[in-house]
Chain A
């Protein structure tokens, strides 16, 4: 089983709609979780950290489910500019704070 897994998509989303997708991780001792956004041929950029209680940043909501070992990202009122690949990253402190990335979920927002 991969350490961090994501549905590669693509998720085709009408503009203005809501889209949500998950990321599962295999190591129950994982401590920190992040969502990154990567545009085509660009570097990943941190979108948001994921806190135990869940957190929101504008139209983006991230949640953590430790019992089922997954994190989620929800995008409300999707914009065309939200089209990108969304990478989740998991940090296992015992492994020297190594960030392990999922393969990414591609989101395409269409007019």
Chain B
């Protein structure tokens, strides 16, 4: 419905596991984002990719590793996470690059609800 699809929708992983979150956008956008939303906290921007290059990394721990192979796909690789990393991870895309794009609203996927045990 939103044009941004995230998988899986729910994920439970142990602290020693390695998993990946996937995001795909069908909107022809050129910027993609990972946000984290913990319980009762505001959306926190984690990473921004613009034209497949990482342009923002908001002091995110190295146990989170993003990958953007092309403008339609974004991954978040997870390893040795901590219980406090449990949160809703949201992917978004926007037409964020290029002159003249003033209304660069972002569209979100449905999120992956991650629980680290």
Contacts and interface: CB of A to CB of B under 8 A. Distances in A.
Interface of A: 31-32, 34, 41-46, 49, 87, 89, 91, 93, 96-104
B86 interface: no
Interface of B: 2, 31, 33, 35, 41-43, 45, 48, 50, 55-56, 88, 90, 92, 94, 96-97, 101-111, 113
Contacts of A44: 43, 90, 108
B55 A96 contact: yes
B56 to A, nearest CB: 6
A98 B48 contact: yes
Nearest to B96: A97
Nearest to B30: A97
Nearest to B95: A97
Contact of B104 (A43, A45, A91): A91
A34 B2 CA distance: 17
B104 A46 contact: no
A52 to B, nearest CB: 10
Given A43-B109, A102-B42, A96 B96 contact: yes
A42 B90 CA distance: 10
B102 A45 contact: no
A47 B97 CA distance: 22
Given A44-B108, A45-B2, 16 more contacts: A32-B102, A32-B103, A41-B88, A42-B111, A43-B2, A49-B105, A89-B106, A91-B104, A93-B102, A93-B104, A97-B97, A98-B45, A99-B33, A99-B94, A99-B106, A101-B43
Contacts of A43: 2, 90, 108-111
B42 A104 contact: yes
A43 B96 CA distance: 20
26 contacts: A31-B102, A34-B105, A41-B113, A42-B111, A43-B109, A43-B111, A44-B43, A44-B90, A45-B108, A46-B105, A49-B103, A87-B43, A89-B106, A91-B104, A93-B104, A96-B55, A96-B96, A97-B31, A97-B94, A99-B45, A99-B92, A99-B104, A99-B105, A101-B42, A103-B42, A104-B42
